[in-house]
Structure 1
Amino acid sequence: MTQTSQPQLPNTVDSREQEMLQEMPITKHLVVLRKHLFKIVSLLIGLFFCLLPFANRTYQILSEPLRAQLPATSTMIATDVTATFMAPFKLNFFIALMLAMPYIIYQLWAYVKPALYAKEKALALPMLIGSIGLFYLGISFAYYIALPSILHFFISVSPETVAPMTDINSYLAFCLKLFLVFGITFEIPIITLLLILIGVVTTQQLVEKRRFIVVGCFFVAMFVTPPDALSMIMLAVPMWMLFELGLLAGKLLEKRRNAESS
């Protein structure tokens, strides 16, 4: 009498994991979530205090694009007594958050991973890694390309009788908004691909509505950037190009799906 071994298939394992998750009470889920959140907060606090001695130096690096554009007789100012402390303090937390972002994404991934099927896991992980890389790329684009160009434009058009002296808190708020806008904007390929994957839209529908999407890119850029044409163009054009990149990836994915189904 022969015994035949029956290896467990990935789908069987996934279904068992999902059954166990469904049987878990809501309090158990909250306990698991609290564990992951505790790890995230611990890392943020640790990074924050490790970077705190370099807070003033970090702000000098951030203000370099502005100081390079200011006239020799101009400088940055602080209109509030606490600004010289709070501005580097806020920037330090932002830097800690950016450095911790891969770990934060990993912890969130570890929390939702048991609820995903094997095929969903295979697609989700590369998209998460890609989203982190694109977010950092967007911030780098904003700092090295967009920010110097925008600052040069505003300072060059200022009247000769006005000496530009920017408040350090105002400059920090301006930079952080710019970084977040470009960081989120560079997620467009991931968002486009995700919408195609879950079946909300098809590549054919996106191609048919391309002209409306391009107009929408300029419309959105007009409201989230400073009130000048240069800022709007520097955001709208990358938005358009990133949409085209996501559309191309979606076409390749649909072509692969059709080849597997045939």
Structure 2
Amino acid sequence: MSQPSKPEDELAGTEQPFVEHLMELRDRLVRAFIAVGVVAAILFFWPGPGQLYDLLAAPLVSHLPQGATMIATSVISPFMVPLKILLLSAFLVALPFVLYQVWAFVAPGLYAHEKRLVLPLVVSSTLLFFMGVAFCYFFVFGQVFSFIQSFAPKSITAAPDIEAYLGFVMTMFLAFGLAFEVPIAVVVLARLEVVSVDKLKSFRGYFVVGAFIVAAIVTPPDVVSQLALAIPMCLLYELGIWAAQLFIRHTKAPEDASESTG
């Protein structure tokens, strides 16, 4: 009686020496740094570091009392803060190309079913992070600054420090960008069978409580920003459960798929 033949390994014969892997990694990193440098050079001449900071500060400036401006308490802040924003903006603009270099480096070592999982996750995680940053900038900042200014006594003239504002913006961007990655975390945990989809569904109540606790810790002490972070996290958790079921169905290994249909 003949034994069933094992499926041929897709990666057979594709192994490369360790030194070649290091050389390819170096080339990918150099290309990524060059991309960030080129974007930084373009942004330096147009619109310029100062204009980038003005754009970043616009949500706060629009809610300051008439005649009030932001200040710099350090001698080098007017130079260093716009430069930091320039580099951050260059990295964000070049991020799709940087992630493509990461994907091109790891893709040859992945099976076909793994590529069907990793590539959509890389693309979707990038888009979700940008969506979180955009949501924070265009919606949350306006609501938070308006709420805070409504409590400021008339005897106080607000004059925020530009470096402190940059730190606040970075914290908020990171918090909302990572919060919008909740569906990706749910999909990965379910696909790696760390947690089943049924367990994720039963964990809803705990996640809602955890989302509000996290929002209370990482956002300013106002109700508006806390709700603006916690509510999207809860909705994105539900989206992640739905997406996890689709990913599990369409990214099974060939042997797993044959067993489930056999």
One fold, TM greater than 0.5?
yes
Match of 1:36 among 18, 28, 40: 28
Matched, 1:15 2:9: no
CA distance in 2, matches of 1:45, 1:103: 12
Q: Which has the higher mean CA deviation after the structures are superposed, 180-189 or 137-146?
A: 180-189
Per-residue CA deviations over 1:62-120 (Å, capped at 9, x if unaligned) read 11111110110311111112111111111101100100110111001111111110111
CA distance in 2, matches of 1:147, 1:199: 38
The one-letter amino acid paired with 2:81 is: A
Provide the secondary structure at the position in 2 that maps to 1:104. Answer: helix
The answer for unaligned runs of 5 or more in structure 1 is 1-9
Instruction: Indicate conservation of the 8 Å contact 1:11/1:117, yes or no.
Output: no
Match of 1:49 among 41, 54, 62: 41
CA distance in 1, matches of 2:8, 2:70: 61
Query: Shift of the alpha carbon at 1:230?
Result: 2.0
Query: Shift of the alpha carbon at 1:253?
Result: 4.0
TM-score by length of 1: 0.89
The one-letter amino acid paired with 2:155 is: T
CA distance in 2, matches of 1:240, 1:232: 12
The one-letter amino acid paired with 1:215 is: V
CA RMSD of aligned residues (A): 1.9
Instruction: Indicate conservation of the 8 Å contact 1:105/1:128, yes or no.
Output: yes
TM-score by length of 2: 0.89
Match of 1:87 among 66, 71, 81: 81
Matches within 5 A, 1:1-262: 12-17=9-14, 20-21=15-16, 24-25=17-18, 27-53=19-45, 54-254=48-248, 261-262=260-261
The one-letter amino acid paired with 2:24 is: V
The one-letter amino acid paired with 2:196 is: T
CA distance in 1, matches of 2:247, 2:80: 47
CA distance in 1, matches of 2:8, 2:113: 9
The 1:233/1:11 distance shift into structure 2, 3 A limit, reads farther
The 1:181/1:114 distance shift into structure 2, 3 A limit, reads same
Query: Shift of the alpha carbon at 1:221?
Result: 1.4
Instruction: Indicate conservation of the 8 Å contact 1:11/1:118, yes or no.
Output: no
The answer for unaligned runs of 5 or more in structure 2 is 1-6
Q: Which has the higher mean CA deviation after the structures are superposed, 175-184 or 27-36?
A: 27-36
Query: Shift of the alpha carbon at 1:175?
Result: 1.1
Greater helix percent: which structure? 1
The count of aligned residue pairs is 248
Instruction: Indicate conservation of the 8 Å contact 1:14/1:118, yes or no.
Output: no
Identity, in percent, stands at 37
Query: Shift of the alpha carbon at 1:147?
Result: 1.0
